[in-house]
Structure 1
C-alpha cells in the first residue's frame, strides 16, 4: 500500500511520514504488549514451579527454602514493576496520538 503512495508535495510527504510512523508505533506497541504478556505468563509459571519446589523442600524437611522463596517473589515483583515503568517512560512508548493530531491541526 505504501508503494502506491507517491507524496508530491511537502504536505503529502509529511502526512505520509506520519502514517508510516504511526504504523511503526502501533506495531511496536503490539509487540511490546505481547512480550509483556509472555513475560507475565512466564513469571506465573516460575511462581508455580517455586511453589512446587517449596512444597517438596518442606516435605523433605528443609524449611529455610520458604523464606528464600518469598524473598525471590518480592524481588521479581519489584523488578517487573520497574520494567513496566521503564517501558511506559521509554521515548517510543511515551509518544501519544495527540502529537499527530497537533501537527495536523497546525498545518
Structure 2
C-alpha cells in the first residue's frame, strides 16, 4: 500500500508541519499588528502602558 509507505508518510508529515509553521508565522504577524494597534489606541487615549504582570497602576501616595 502506498499510503503506509514510510516515505509517503514522511512527506505528508513534513507538508503538514510546514503548513502549521506557516500558519503560526501568519498568526504571529497578526498578533504583532494587534499589539501595535492597541498601543497606538492607548497613546491616542492618553493611557500609559503599565509595567508588570498584574497591569494595575500604582496608587499615588498622598
Q: TM over 0.5: same fold?
A: yes
Q: How does 1:1-107 map to 2 (within 5 A)?
A: 2=1, 20-64=5-49
Gaps of 5+ in 2: 53-62
SS in 2 for 1:64: coil
Tell me which protein shows more helix as a share of its residues.
1
Deviation at 1:62, TM superposition (A): 1.2
CA distance in 2, matches of 1:55, 1:63: 11
Q: Kindly indicate whether structure 1 or structure 2 has the higher relative contact order, using CA contacts under 8 Å at least 6 residues apart.
A: 1
Deviation at 1:44, TM superposition (A): 0.2
SS in 2 for 1:48: helix
TM-score in terms of structure 2 length: 0.71
CA distance in 2, matches of 1:55, 1:23: 48
SS in 2 for 1:62: coil
Kindly tell me the number of residue pairs found equivalent between the two proteins: 51
| Cα-Cα RMSD | 2.1
CA distance in 2, matches of 1:57, 1:28: 43
